[in-house]
């Protein structure tokens, strides 16, 4: 077991998400920074789909009920074991009873804690991920919660000297495939997205990255019937400020989608702090 000593601002259990249920209104969910989640698992010898802990800005602290191997990736942050500094981005051996703490992110937003064997909370619809929109999966961590661990893999964790990691994002640049409802907007709307006049809003969450900036002008009145929404959709609500849908997004929506960001390009959006400039690069 891991016992939660400090839960942090928002710490959730995440894996690669639950697929195949969107037609029932269940989002995919899963780790927002999939690259960091996969790396953390590789460092401790887990399969990439094993469940990790995803923290938000302020980290978390857990007590190990037995000796474990753990690793921290994603947003760089101070790591300590019983108050002593430990390495970020490499496998750590945590003694039984010791407290492993992830501090406040130095930059970025979300850090990932993997433990050999994975976090073994009961799966729901094939995934252990917490979905904050629908409430599917385990609740966000609270002090005193106990998290079961799976059986550690027989192979020793991978030894590494350095972990590749992107530096601070001064500007979030995202490819955008226009459509399916770009014809609801004036031609100047797509040019505004490409001009970089938007910034990340503090109102964003695991459901979507909200933006601040000029309102995108529409040329069609009225609203759409609800239609399917995909990961990476850029939806434009009535205020004209685009919202980029992330892992816990709703599966349907009635506001027009001006374009879609490919899912493989969303890891950087998960680590972008409020106030960061956002620019979309239009793709055919």
Whether the predicted pLDDT of 161 surpasses 70: no
pLDDT-derived band at 221, boundaries 50, 70, 90: confident
pLDDT digits (tens, 9 = 90+) for 242-270: 999 999 999 999 999 999 999 999 999 99
Pair 234, 278 in one domain: yes
Pair 232, 269 in one domain: yes
CA angle at 136 for the pair 134 and 139, rounded to the nearest 5°: 105
* CATH assignment of the domain containing 175: 2.40.100.10
Pair 82, 36 in one domain: yes
Domain assignment of residue 196, yes or no: yes
Whether the predicted pLDDT of 174 surpasses 70: yes
pLDDT digits (tens, 9 = 90+) for 179-205: 999 999 999 999 999 999 999 999 999
Whether the predicted pLDDT of 162 surpasses 70: no
- By residue count, the chain amounts to 284
Q: What are phi and psi of 276, to 5 degrees?
A: -70, 140
Pair 132, 225 in one domain: no
Which residue segment(s) compose the domain that 199 sits in? 171-282
Query: Could you report how far apart the first and last alpha carbons of the chain are, in Å?
Result: 50
Domain assignment of residue 137, yes or no: yes
Pair 190, 139 in one domain: no
Three-class DSSP category at 191: helix
pLDDT-derived band at 36, boundaries 50, 70, 90: very high
Number of domains in the chain: 2
Domain assignment of residue 85, yes or no: yes
Q: Which of 90, 112, 147 is the last residue of a domain?
A: 147
pLDDT of residue 159: 73
Domain assignment of residue 129, yes or no: yes
Pair 257, 141 in one domain: no
Domain assignment of residue 165, yes or no: no
Whether the predicted pLDDT of 284 surpasses 80: no
* CATH assignment of the domain containing 69: 2.60.120
Q: Which of 113, 147, 181 is the last residue of a domain?
A: 147
Domain assignment of residue 166, yes or no: no
Pair 69, 105 in one domain: yes
For residue 227, the cross-strand partners are 253
Domain assignment of residue 76, yes or no: yes
Average pLDDT over residues 20-48: 94
Pair 143, 6 in one domain: yes
pLDDT of residue 101: 98
Are the C-beta atoms of 28 and 17 separated by less than 8 Å? yes
Global pTM? Answer: 0.96
pLDDT of residue 256: 97
Left, alpha or beta for 126 (phi > 0: left; psi -120 to 50: alpha)?
left
Pair 6, 142 in one domain: yes
Q: Which of 94, 114, 147 is the last residue of a domain?
A: 147
pLDDT digits (tens, 9 = 90+) for 82-99: 999 999 999 999 999 999
Whether the predicted pLDDT of 166 surpasses 90: no
Lowest mean pLDDT among 72-86, 161-175, 183-197, 212-226: 161-175
Three-class DSSP category at 256: coil
Average pLDDT over residues 42-49: 94
Pair 84, 180 in one domain: no
CA angle at 32 for the pair 26 and 34, rounded to the nearest 5°: 110
Domain assignment of residue 161, yes or no: no
Pair 67, 201 in one domain: no
């Amino acid at each position: 077991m891991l016992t939660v000593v400090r839960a942090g601002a928002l710490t959730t259990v995440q894996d690669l998400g639950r697929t195949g249920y969107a037609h029932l209104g269940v989002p995919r969910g899963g780790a927002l920074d999939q690259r960091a989640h996969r790396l953390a698992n590789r460092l401790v010898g887990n399969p990439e789909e094993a469940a990790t802990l995803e923290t938000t800005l302020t980290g978390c602290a857990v007590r190990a009920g037995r000796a474990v191997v753990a690793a921290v990736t994603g947003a760089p942050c101070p790591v300590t074991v019983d108050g002593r500094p430990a390495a970020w981005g490499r496998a750590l051996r945590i003694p039984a009873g010791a407290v492993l703490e992830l501090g406040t992110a130095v930059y970025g937003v979300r850090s990932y804690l993997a433990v050999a064997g994975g976090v073994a909370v009961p799966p729901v619809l094939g995934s252990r991920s917490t979905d904050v929109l629908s409430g599917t999966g385990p609740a966000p961590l609270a002090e005193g919660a106990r998290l079961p661990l799976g059986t550690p893999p027989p192979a020793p964790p991978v030894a590494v000297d350095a972990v590749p990691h992107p530096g601070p994002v001064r500007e979030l640049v995202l490819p955008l495939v226009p459509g399916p409802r770009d014809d609801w907007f004036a031609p100047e709307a797509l040019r505004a997205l490409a001009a970089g006049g938007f910034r990340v809003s503090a109102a964003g969450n695991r459901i979507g990255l909200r933006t601040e900036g000029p309102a995108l002008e529409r040329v069609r009145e009225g609203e759409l019937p609800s239609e399917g929404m995909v990961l990476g959709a850029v939806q434009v609500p009535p205020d004209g400020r685009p919202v980029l849908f992330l892992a816990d997004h709703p599966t349907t929506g009635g506001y027009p989608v001006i374009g879609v960001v490919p899912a493989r390009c969303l890891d950087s959006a998960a680590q972008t702090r409020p106030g960061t400039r956002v620019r979309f690069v239009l793709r055919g």
